[in-house]
Amino acid sequence: MSLQLKWLHQFQFAGYYVALEKGFYRDTGLEVEIRSGGPGIDAMVDVASGKADFGVCMTGVLLPRPSQPKVVVLGVIFQHSAANILVPSRARINALPELKGRRLMDASGSDDLAAMLKQQGVDYAALPRVEHTGNPLDLVAGKADAMVSYVTNEPFVLEQNRVPYRSFTPRTFGFDFYGDNLCTTDALALRKPAMVQAFLAASLKGWDYALANKQEAVDIILRGYPVIKSRDALVFEAVRTEALIEPGLIPLGSQSPERWNAIARIYQDLGMLPKGKLPAPPIYQTSEDRFLYWLKLTAVTALLLLAGAGTFLLYRRANRTIVSQFRLSYVMAGLFVCLSIPILIFILVFNHQKNSEAIVTILQEQIAKSRSATIESIENLMRGVGGVLGLLAESAAAQPSFFRTEDSRDALYRVLTSSTQIDAAYVSFEDGYHRVVTRVDEDRKRADTQIPPGANWHSSYIEPFSTGLSRDRHRTFYDAWPNVIGRYSAPTSLDIRALPGYAAARDSHALYVTAPSINPDTGYPIISARYPIYTTDGEFLGCASVNITFDVLSRYLSTQRPSRHSVTMIADPNDGKIVASSEREKAVKFAGGTLQIATLATVDNADVRDAYRRHVETNRDNFVFKSPQNGRELSASFARFPETFGSPWQSVILTPTDDFVGQLRETNQKIVLTIVTLTAIELAFIFLIARRLTRPLERVTRELEAIEDLTFRESHDPSSKIKEIAQLQTAATLLRSSLQSFASFAPVEVVKGLVKSGIPLTLGVEKRPLTVFFSDIEAFSTHAEHSDPDQLLRQMSTYFDIVSKAVTDESGTVDKFIGDGVMAFWGAPLELPDHVLRACHGALRAVHRLSAANETQRAAGHLAFRMRIGLNTGDALVGNVGSTERFSYTAIGDAVNVASRLEGMNKQFGTTICVSETVVNAVGPRIVVRPLRRIAVKGREQRFMIYELLGVRDSDDPELKAADHALELSKLTEAASALFEAGRHREAATAYRNILGRHPDDPVAKAMLELPELAARKMGVP
């Protein structure tokens, strides 16, 4: 067997090396050859073509490759993609949108990076490219501004060389692709299932061993394979690899349909998969899985057939055996039970469901409010911190000597007390001088026993490096500022320049917020914000900084929970490190005798760990699940901070739904018991009342039975007190008397039936030449999402009124409203010789009137509608279409379908009214149009030209006349289109660019230049 790697030998493939070295493959009877990858080698292609039996593939297995065999994923090794964009701080790229126009060392194959850049408004294809040498030090040398890299590899080189950098990972922006996975062809899996399963099991065993014994795995790689990495680099890669695999959270090899579907939807958004139905997840199914699937399907089918047959047999038997008829009193009581009880149950269930939905909505709103408040407050905190630090840095740049004096303590104290979340404020200089003012909390007192018990504030300074190796830190303590209660000095070797974020702030010339780290003063976690100090001459002096403790953030989160049992956390989505937690004590943990920052995968809260696992496995941000601890229902919400925040954080909120619906469930249980009891009592009363009501009816029945036999007898039964029953008794008496009188003369034949004549409407169509009109609203879903429902309804009514009036003004027929769309036609039921021109008039009037209405909407602060229209003329079937019971007057046929497709073509070209070639042929000299391109419509083999309608030629009507530049635009576009259709693409691209030169906002020219035939010409490719 052969295994094709996707890159050169390194720890990325350690599990396979270990499985081979330790004999795991050999134990299953397999002889495996591991082939190195590299530039130009596509493991999936080699697997599909049969060059390799197995391969290390990417999520590209989802993409269609009609000419190649189907590839399936045996198991996912990397739960997260290792791809990232690496940016040195010196490039001053602090957010992805700032990457526009910057040089990128690119490596193909990272589709999640393309999705991330697209979301942030960066055209991946348009970025200037630099040859990817694989050496991140090229970034330091200025050969490029950013590079595509792996978080397991290139960052090691930068960290070894103490080069500060930023890393933009797709996972931070919500694009969590699988990384490496083990794949093979579906044909091989079906042909040799035992061998494939054995290979998968041995490979997973190898990975399990490699992650548990990283040093030994590194030795195996160095000893047996040609590698270009050092031992330290491989160990670094091993640690980072484990974080991407997450073996402690998710079983090795796990994959889920939900996660594959989420990835497929991103591919659809990128245009790499067609819209519509998602492809089947490429998950390998064992023979046992296939057998169980068909067994379950067969069992369910058999049960349904047996149930149906049993029901039918019981019904037949009941019909044969039940010969007696039921008494009315029993029927009435039974009907009450059958009708009222289900209704009561339905009302109860419906009421509970609606109440639950309402309360869950309230829960979600509370979670959203809490999340928004948390994010907004922390954003405001960091924004305020940035502002204060900027002022502090300006002061230090203007008067650096001032911050080397004791008088500067008050300035730092004011910075410290500007926000309760700030734990320390300090200024650090390049020469080693450092001055700080801090709060004194219990963490500091535990870390330093020399701090006076009554101290609440502390200031200190560290001497510069010029004093020699023996530098001292001089500390002063206060109970109330500035009342001193103690001092002491102690030697220190602290170099602030080596602390996280110092070099990054220096190189980026901007505020830098660090990842969580351990405070050297207290031994507990903090977040630092640093602002560089630069003189007006551009000389770097040092950094102004503040520290924010987890304890302060955690106390804040505990007050922002949606309910008293909720858990709120802030974490880094890349590594799961917890920044703050409403359960303060769980934000950190002791491991190996040292304090470490907890992660979502290791935090001492089983509910959080399980929610994080589900989040990773399914890629869902909001879901409900059962607690693994006590089975209670929990709502989980994961939300990323805005990209403008500057740090890749996300909020995590877990809320027991019982905090909101628990009381409702108890109330419903009591209501059920009450209803059952009252129903039983009511049923007894109903039966008694029914007996009283049915006795007169039973007497009438007996009298009618006698009349049927023509055995007439006098009735002495008392009249009922109920009006309707009394009338029935009277009628029965009258009938008896009448029949008795009539029977004295002749036999009676009663003629029953009433015939009414009339001319009913019938189904039928006729063939007519029609001009068909389709319109809809651009981005209607977005409007609906962001608009008030009542306001949206008013705007929609205005839109429908405008379109309907425009159609009827031109003697057209409005067929139907389809969501936000309108279908109309001209030429039926009234025949119109000029129906094509009238349709053009109607379309132009609708657009003009909607534009006028939009001005009113904008003035009122509402979103404006932009409509898109398609027009086509041709023969169609028109008439009454539908079922025998219900039908409508409409048109059907190819002409209608083409008009509908033309309306959708406006989206591609940014146009408003798109008309077909037949429309232009019919009224071409009388309208102003410009050609777009030839297209093919589904169901038609022949391609035809489509046009944009710009106006009516020589018209003085303001609703119909074309814009001043329309004729020029029409001629320019006609010339460019002719070149394009003639295959002269270079000249066509030039012509369209000339149009943009004269009309920079022309959407048609832009759209045409984006076509593959012209895009290459746009880049200068012959």
The predicted model gives 720-739 an average pLDDT of 70
Q: How confident is the model at residue 920 (pLDDT cuts 50, 70, 90)?
A: very high
Q: How confident is the model at residue 327 (pLDDT cuts 50, 70, 90)?
A: low
Rounded to a whole number, what is the distance in angstroms from the first to the last CA of the chain? 45
Better pLDDT: 208 or 642? 208
Instruction: Count how many residues are written for the chain.
Output: 1022
Kindly report the backbone phi and psi dihedral angles of residue 55, in degrees, each rounded to the nearest multiple of 5, phi listed first: -155, 160
β pairing state of 129-130 and 104-105? parallel
The DSSP call for residue 446 is: H
The predicted model gives 20-30 an average pLDDT of 93
Q: What single letter denotes the amino acid at residue 304?
A: L
Residue among 59, 61, 44, 63 at smallest CA distance from 3? 44
Task: Please tell me the number of Cα atoms within 13 Å of 567 on its side-chain side.
Answer: 26
Residue 315 confidence (pLDDT): 57
Residue among 615, 618, 636 at smallest CA distance from 261? 618
Kindly report the backbone phi and psi dihedral angles of residue 624, in degrees, each rounded to the nearest multiple of 5, phi listed first: -120, 140
Per-residue pLDDT of 929-938, as tens digits, reads 999 999 887 7
Q: How confident is the model at residue 755 (pLDDT cuts 50, 70, 90)?
A: very low
Q: Is residue 982 exposed (0-12), middle (13-18) or buried (19+ Cβ within 10 Å)?
A: exposed
Residue 742 confidence (pLDDT): 46
Kindly state the tokens that stand for 13.
């493939």
CB within 8 Å of 338: residues ≥ 6 apart:
none
Residue 753 confidence (pLDDT): 29
CB within 8 Å of 948: residues ≥ 6 apart:
909, 911, 912, 913, 914, 915, 929, 930, 932, 1004
Per-residue pLDDT of 756-801, as tens digits, reads 323 345 677 889 999 999 999 988 888 888 788 888 888 899 999 9
Q: How confident is the model at residue 104 (pLDDT cuts 50, 70, 90)?
A: very high
How far apart are the C-alpha atoms of 632 and 658, rounded to whole Å? Answer: 8
Residue among 522, 539, 280, 531 at smallest CA distance from 427? 531
**Which of 682-686, 851-855, 979-983 shows the lowest per-residue confidence on average (mean pLDDT)?**
682-686
Per-residue pLDDT of 194-235, as tens digits, reads 999 999 999 999 999 999 999 999 999 999 999 988 999 999
Per-residue pLDDT of 140-193, as tens digits, reads 888 999 999 998 998 999 888 888 888 888 888 888 899 999 999 999 998 999
Residue among 663, 891, 932, 680 at smallest CA distance from 768? 891
Strand blocks (E) in 400-515: 422-429, 434-439, 457-462, 471-480, 483-492, 512-513
Query: Is the pLDDT reported for residue 902 higher than 60?
Result: yes
CB within 8 Å of 456: residues ≥ 6 apart:
439, 440, 478, 479, 480
Residue 174 confidence (pLDDT): 82
Kindly report the backbone phi and psi dihedral angles of residue 575, in degrees, each rounded to the nearest multiple of 5, phi listed first: -120, 0
Count of CB atoms situated within 10 Å of the CB of 767: 11
The predicted model gives 538-564 an average pLDDT of 82
Q: How confident is the model at residue 744 (pLDDT cuts 50, 70, 90)?
A: very low
Q: What single letter denotes the amino acid at residue 756?
A: K
The DSSP call for residue 192 is: -
Q: What is the percent of the chain where pLDDT is above 90?
A: 36
How far apart are the C-alpha atoms of 168 and 117, rounded to whole Å? Answer: 10
Cα-Cα-Cα-Cα dihedral sign, residues 41, 42, 45, 46: positive
E strand or H helix at 654: strand 650-656
Per-residue pLDDT of 656-706, as tens digits, reads 888 776 666 667 667 777 777 877 777 777 777 766 777 777 777 777 666
Kindly report the backbone phi and psi dihedral angles of residue 916, in degrees, each rounded to the nearest multiple of 5, phi listed first: -90, 170
Better pLDDT: 262 or 756? 262
Average confidence score pLDDT of the chain? 83
Residue 635 confidence (pLDDT): 87
Residue 808 confidence (pLDDT): 87
Q: How many helices (H) and strands (E) are present in the chain, helices listed first?
A: 29, 34
Kindly state the tokens that stand for 902.
């033309």
Residue 758 confidence (pLDDT): 33
How far apart are the C-alpha atoms of 320 and 570, rounded to whole Å? Answer: 71
How far apart are the C-alpha atoms of 403 and 433, rounded to whole Å? Answer: 9
Residue 378, CA distances (Å) to 374, 438, 580 in order: 6, 20, 11
Per-residue pLDDT of 391-414, as tens digits, reads 899 999 999 999 999 999 999 999
Q: Residue 858 in contact with residue 740, Cβ under 8 Å?
A: no
Query: Is the pLDDT reported for residue 317 higher than 70?
Result: no
Query: Is the pLDDT reported for residue 601 higher than 60?
Result: yes
Query: Is the pLDDT reported for residue 651 higher than 90?
Result: no
**Which of 41-45, 248-252, 512-516, 713-717 shows the lowest per-residue confidence on average (mean pLDDT)?**
713-717
**Which of 418-427, 630-639, 725-734, 846-855 shows the lowest per-residue confidence on average (mean pLDDT)?**
725-734
How far apart are the C-alpha atoms of 1022 and 1020, rounded to whole Å? Answer: 6
**Which of 73-77, 105-109, 641-645 shows the lowest per-residue confidence on average (mean pLDDT)?**
641-645
The predicted model gives 126-139 an average pLDDT of 87
Backbone dihedral region of 770: left (phi > 0), alpha (psi from -120 to 50 degrees) or beta?
beta
Residue 704 confidence (pLDDT): 67
Residue 484 confidence (pLDDT): 93
Query: Is the pLDDT reported for residue 841 higher than 90?
Result: yes
Q: Residue 461 in contact with residue 436, Cβ under 8 Å?
A: yes
